[in-house]
Structures are given as C-alpha cells and as structure tokens.
Amino acid sequence: MKNHYKFELEPLPYTYDALEPFIDAKTMEIHHNRHLQAYVYNLNKALCGYEYLHSWSLEKLICNADRLPADIRQAVKNNGGGVYNHNFYFDGMSCSAKMPNGRLWAAITKTFGSYENFVTEWKKQALGVFGSGYAWLVSNCGRLCIMTTANQETPLTRGQCPIMTIDVWEHAYYLKHYNKRADYIEDWLQVINWEKAEMNFLKTVDRHTF
C-alpha cells in the first residue's frame, strides 16, 4: 500500500458483496468507492501544493497536524483521518471470520472478564457515539480499552494503538439498517476479522514488552 502522497484508493481485500447478509453490497460499494474515494481525493487536493509534505506518511501527517500550514491543517485532519479510519475499518472485516483463540482473545477475556462482557461494553460505546464517529478497541502498552472518536479523529493523536474499529457514521449502515444502529453493530460483530485484530494487537505487545 502506498502510504504517502499521492494517496490512492486502496482496493478492498474482498468483494463488495462478501459481507452479505450482514453488511450489504450497495452500502459497501458506496462507502468504499464514493466516501473513501472522496477522502483520498480531498487529502491529495490539500497536499498538492506542498511538496515537502509529499514524503510524509499518513500517520505522520495525522500525528503532526499542528505543524501543518494553517490553511490545510483542518483539511488534512479531516481527510487524512478519513482515509486512515476507513482503511482500518475495511481491513478489519472479513467474510470468513473465525472466532479468535490467540493472545488478543486471552487479553480480552482477562480485561473484560468474558467475551460477553466485552460485547456488552462494545455495544454501549458504539451506540453512545453522538452523531458521527467510531468505536475502537485500542491497546496502550498492551493494555486494552474501548474508546470512541468523533468524526474522523483517530486514536493515534491520543497515543493509542488501534486494534479494531466500527464506523458508526450513518452512511455505514443506513441503506440496510435504516436508523437502527444497534442492529448494524450486532451484524458487524459477525464479520470481525479476528486474524487482523490479533496481528494489530501483537504489534503493540511486541513493541512494548520485548
């Protein structure tokens, strides 16, 4: 994946209909091919006149937004966050979701008491996002917690390492689930890419404990 200017629309690792019946093909197509495409386009548009920023990674742009020229700062925050968050969200789903049994699973059951408790807390947080945003499972030095971000803010700017995320902007579910975010969250729980989440978790554990 190209991780600096000129940013590109990263193809999904599955087809648009792969997550049926939980997430419908039309929602996936519009979400990826229009919403994410617009974030990519607008991020490039903001950066195009600033050659010295063309080698900066997406993470560097997001984490150093305060160092950016004032006239593009908000556009890079919004659209850079939009690209980062959507890539994370799309990569974090799978049509062949297997229940986990690795170190993340052990950490989840240890932190929350049980998988059921984790799901209860996850639903509460994802439902509680007022307006548009995301719920995240994050790791801080290997310690798990669930957090939310508004609009296109990322956990990176709060020093948290993301493990998995659910996009709760209405465009992520409105065509199929209408206003019923709880039903969408329930369906999303069926398509978590646990292998990817495990990989993300191991990266944060390795970084801090070895």
Binding-site ranges for Mn ion (CB under 5 A): 167, 169
Instruction: Give me 157's structure tokens.
Output: 């700017």
Q: Is the peptide bond preceding residue 162 cis, with omega within 30 degrees of 0?
A: no
**Shortest Cβ contact with Mn ion: which residue?**
167
Report how far residue 146's alpha carbon sits from residue 15's, in angstroms, rounded to the nearest whole number: 29
In the complex with Mn ion, the residue whose CB is nearer, 91 or 167, is 167
Instruction: Give me 170's structure tokens.
Output: 């209405």
Q: Shortest Cβ distance from residue 159 to Mn ion (Å)?
A: 23
In the complex with Mn ion, the residue whose CB is nearer, 125 or 152, is 152
Instruction: Give me 64's structure tokens.
Output: 């150093």
Q: Shortest Cβ distance from residue 202 to Mn ion (Å)?
A: 26
Q: Shortest Cβ distance from residue 132 to Mn ion (Å)?
A: 8
Determine how many CB atoms are found less than 10 A away from the CB of residue 209: 8
In the complex with Mn ion, the residue whose CB is nearer, 35 or 123, is 35
Q: Shortest Cβ distance from residue 76 to Mn ion (Å)?
A: 18
In the complex with Mn ion, the residue whose CB is nearer, 88 or 194, is 88
Write b or e for each residue in 120-142: b if 16 or more Cβ atoms lie within 10 A of its Cβ, otherwise e.
ebbbebbeebeeebbbbbbbeeb
